[in-house]
């Protein structure tokens, strides 16, 4: 089964390369989600509670980023940032693009969740004498997070999908590693199927998690 020349043999030979590619894919996605969420929370809060100048600026940012394909963001950040004197590796430049992309998704998601809360919630909280920070922490945020959670988990799938784009700017993530192995072994179908299976399993797990979260956070009716 493991003789030279068989698929299993080639997979065994390139196991470390594949694992490394998988590691880079997971690392990119994780970092993009974590950093993107931190930035995205600010984006969402400004969109809802900001003064009009900052709200307008952030709205422009969100609309601009969401109107541009992620692929263009990745390429632009790769070529642009070095040009204006910020020396970044391909990994960092690609990650920057994904963080920006993720922040707009998280921001819009949070804005939607916050704005969908009935006004009565804020009014009732004011009526019992809570200050705005208290209203936000004890009344609005818990409800908004409950609503935003499933979509937030789905953003993770988007990030795993977008991480493949970094293969074009020579970051050795799973897709690029697969391409390299295929160039060596000529086992096109086999290795692409393997990569596809791995991507599918990651995203399927995330999708299941999102579904489970949706069930758990749903308000009992």
Residues forming contacts to other proteins in the complex (CB under 8 A) are 63-64, 67-73, 75-76, 79-80, 83-85, 157, 160-165, 167-168, 175, 179, 182, 188-189, 192, 195-196, 199-200, 203-204, 207
What minimum distance in Å lies between the beta carbon of 122 and other proteins? 29
CB 157 within 8 A of CB 203: yes
Shortest distance in whole angstroms from residue 206 CB to other proteins: 8
Q: Which CB, 74 or 140, lies closer to other proteins?
A: 74
| Closest distance to other proteins from the beta carbon of 219 (Å) | 21
- What is the per-residue DSSP string for 2-30? --TTSHHHHHHHTHHHHHHHHHHHHHHHH
Can you tell me the distance from the alpha carbon of 205 to that of 177, in angstroms, rounded to the nearest whole number? 22
Which DSSP string corresponds to 29-92? HHHHHHHHHHHHHHHHHHHHHS-HHHHHHHHHHHHHHHHS-HHHHHHHHHHHHHHTT----HHH
Closest CB to other proteins among residues 47, 139: 47
Q: How many CB atoms lie within 10 A of CB 76?
A: 13
Q: How far is the CB of 97 from other proteins (least distance, A)?
A: 11
Minimum separation from the CB atom of position 130 to other proteins (A): 37
Token readout for 170 is 């020579």
Nearer to other proteins, 72 or 124 (CB): 72
Of 37 and 167, nearer to other proteins (C-beta) is 167
How far is it, in rounded angstroms, from Cα 2 to Cα 22? 23
| 24 contacts 170 by C-beta, under 8 angstroms | no
Kindly tell me which of 41 and 168 has the beta carbon lying closer to other proteins. Answer: 168
> By C-beta, is 76 or 212 nearer to other proteins?
76
- CB 30, min distance to other proteins, A: 16
């Amino acid at each position: 089964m493991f003789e030279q020349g068989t698929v299993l043999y080639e997979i065994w030979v390139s196991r470390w390369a594949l694992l490394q590619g998988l590691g880079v894919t997971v690392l990119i996605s994780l970092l993009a989600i974590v950093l993107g969420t931190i930035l995205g929370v600010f984006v969402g809060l400004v969109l809802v509670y900001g003064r009009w100048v900052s709200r307008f600026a952030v709205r422009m940012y969100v609309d601009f980023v969401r109107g541009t394909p992620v692929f263009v963001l990745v390429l632009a950040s790769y070529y642009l940032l070095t040009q204006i004197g910020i020396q970044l590796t391909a990994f960092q430049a690609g990650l920057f693009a994904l963080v920006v992309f993720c922040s707009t998704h998280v921001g819009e998601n949070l804005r939607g969740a916050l704005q969908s809360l009935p006004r009565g919630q804020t009014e009732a909280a004011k009526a019992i004498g809570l200050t705005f920070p208290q209203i936000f922490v004890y009344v609005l945020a818990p409800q908004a997070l409950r609503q935003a959670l499933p979509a937030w988990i789905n953003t993770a799938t988007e990030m795993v999908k977008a991480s493949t784009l970094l293969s074009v700017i020579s970051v050795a993530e799973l897709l690029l590693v697969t391409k390299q192995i295929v160039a060596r072994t000529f086992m096109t179908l086999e290795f692409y199927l393997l990569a596809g299976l791995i991507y599918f399993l990651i995203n399927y797990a995330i999708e299941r998690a999102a579904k489970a979260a949706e069930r758990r956070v749903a308000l009992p009716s």
